[in-house]
Amino acid sequence: MTDRHPPAPGVPAPAWTGRTAVVTGAAAGIGGGVADLLVELGATVVGLDRDAAALDAAVARHAGAPGRLVPMTVDVADPAALDDAARRVRDEHGGLDAVVCAAGVQRYGTVDETDPATYAEVMGVNVGGAFHTCRTMIPLVRANGGGAVVVVSSAQAYATQRGVAAYTASKTALLGLARAMAVDHAADGIRVNSVSPGSVDTPMLRWAAGLFAGDRPADEVVAEWGRAHALGRVATPREVAEVVEFLLGDRASFVTGADVKVDGGLSARLAAALPEETS
């Protein structure tokens, strides 16, 4: 593959020059943060998302970058659409070096409040989207001699809020899926890991904050949620993307089957507060 923006003489090429990655949910949020970082590092990123307009805006944002974002409007809940996307990736880009499954939806409800259609949506996007993305794209990584996969789970795979039964179930399932793929594809030279973020300042988090804000600004709710983390704030998509890029890259060459909590200490902190913390 020819570098579209070759470095000046004597300047090393960006770390991902000549490499190709598929990122789902690439138009915004954590997937957008991962796509942005990989493009900055010289990769060709095939960005899958169902929001065509947001994908086009992301492409424009990367004008002049060392790498490039190639948009594909795909609903990851549609296995046939992912079959078509994989054929396009193979025909237009050859093999793959990396796959990141970041597409996801959040829905609220206990099991008795969650109707079958909502349950099917959450599991179809969050679990089915990752499963079928890997089903279709891992053969392209294998054909390329190996590479890496990262699945985006959630801190709610470890501990849960009230009223997120389907979401928590889906994110917990992703940890098992990543472990299974790590074992199944180690002999193919493919490493598979997951990350479990806490609250991240994404459009999905802002949407959730709006549901609970009432008369308050959404920023106030986001800040309140941030205070539940030991670091006292929510993460940026870029902070999660940095960990994802590490797991995809050569520095993590002996890391597979692992989950990395990128949660600002959320899962380390007990809910019970000392008296001085509540005064």
Contact assessment for residue 156 and residue 200, using Cβ atoms and an 8 Å cutoff: no
Residue 23: strand pairing partners: 47, 100
State yes or no: is 119 an active-site residue.
no
Longest dimension (CA), the chain: 63
Q: Which of 108, 119, 158, 167 is catalytic?
A: 167
Which residues are the active-site residues?
Answer: 167
